């Protein structure tokens, strides 16, 4: 199906990417780079997580649209992707989706949608790259309905020596990896933003460089009490 409507609620302000043309090289090689992981584990992780989406869905940093074919029982998906090069690739996946998809240029930190307007927010492999994860998670919580769900798949900071190595490598890695930070404690950021973890699983996927391990899968709901303000740095 894949009905396409290009919407950008904040106009130019949403294009939080390093240049007007975006990361063209990264966009061009992204699916090929991921192909080695999609077959053995990433594809099934995506399918299992996204199967839990329902109602109106907002996908943050949808990239080339790798999740789109996995949506099933949803009303519509708004695929938000601020990088024009990635959005160009995403548009090619739309005819293969089985659900209505609208494409937006919104960035995670400034979503521009009304409060409580989505039943599910999906963020896969994106909280490592956003400029301000706390602001992004605050926005995700704002646009989620009180009984909504946040679905996250991410590589996160390890422990001990690995974490220290990730800290050292991050300045270089983010330059070559389109802003990717291997050392983010995303699970803690989700809790700090005012979510209650319903499910969390840490895992070490096969044949993935140790620098971007472990991974975490998170299903979370907005806390009624709001964000843990005392923890926000």
Ligand X SMILES: C[S@@+](CC[C@H](N)C(=O)[O-])C[C@H]1O[C@@H](n2cnc3c(N)ncnc32)[C@H](O)[C@@H]1O
What residues line the site for ligand X (CB under 6 A)?
16, 60-63, 66-67, 81-83, 86, 107-109, 124-126, 129-131, 179
Residue given tokens 């050392």 in the structure block: 183
Upstream peptide bond of 214 is cis (omega within 30 degrees of 0): yes
Task: Give the sign of the dihedral formed by CA 214, CA 37, CA 180, CA 201.
Answer: negative
Q: Closer to ligand X at the Cβ: 56 or 83?
A: 83
Q: Minimum distance from CB of 23 to ligand X (Å)?
A: 7
Helix (H, G, I), strand (E, B) or coil at 5: coil
Least Å distance, CB 56 to ligand X, is 18
Q: Which two tokens stand for residue 190?
A: 């989700």
Answer yes or no: are the C-beta atoms of 116 and 12 closer than 8 Å: no
Cβ proximity to ligand X: between 63 and 227 the closer is: 63
CB of 134 to ligand X, least distance (A): 12
Nearer CB in complex with ligand X: 37/163: 37
The separation between CA 189 and the C-alpha centre of its own chain, rounded to angstroms, equals 14
Return the number of the residue (120 or 129) whose C-beta is nearest ligand X: 129
User: Min. distance of Cβ 116 from ligand X in angstroms?
Assistant: 20
């Amino acid at each position: 199906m894949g009905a396409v409507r290009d919407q950008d609620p904040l106009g130019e302000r949403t294009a939080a990417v390093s240049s007007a043309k975006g990361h063209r090289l990264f966009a061009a090689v992204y699916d090929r780079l991921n192909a080695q992981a999609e077959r053995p584990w990433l594809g099934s992780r995506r399918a299992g997580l996204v199967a839990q989406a329902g109602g109106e869905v907002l996908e943050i940093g949808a990239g080339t649209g790798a999740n789109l074919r996995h949506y099933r029982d949803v009303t519509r998906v708004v695929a938000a992707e601020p990088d024009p090069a990635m959005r160009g690739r995403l548009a090619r996946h739309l005819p293969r989706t089985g659900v209505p998809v609208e494409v937006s240029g919104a960035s995670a930190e400034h979503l521009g949608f009304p409060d409580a307007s989505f039943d599910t927010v999906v963020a896969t492999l994106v909280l490592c790259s956003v400029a301000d994860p706390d602001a992004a998670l605050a926005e995700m919580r704002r646009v989620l309905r009180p009984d909504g769900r946040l679905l996250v798949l991410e590589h996160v900071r390890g422990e001990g020596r690995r974490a220290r190595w990730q800290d050292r490598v991050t300045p270089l890695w983010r330059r070559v990896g389109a802003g990717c930070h291997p050392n983010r404690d995303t699970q803690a950021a989700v809790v700090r933003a005012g979510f209650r973890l319903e499910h969390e699983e840490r895992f070490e996927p096969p044949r993935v460089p140790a620098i971007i391990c472990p991974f975490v899968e998170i299903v979370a709901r907005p806390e009624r009490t709001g964000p843990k303000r005392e923890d926000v740095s």
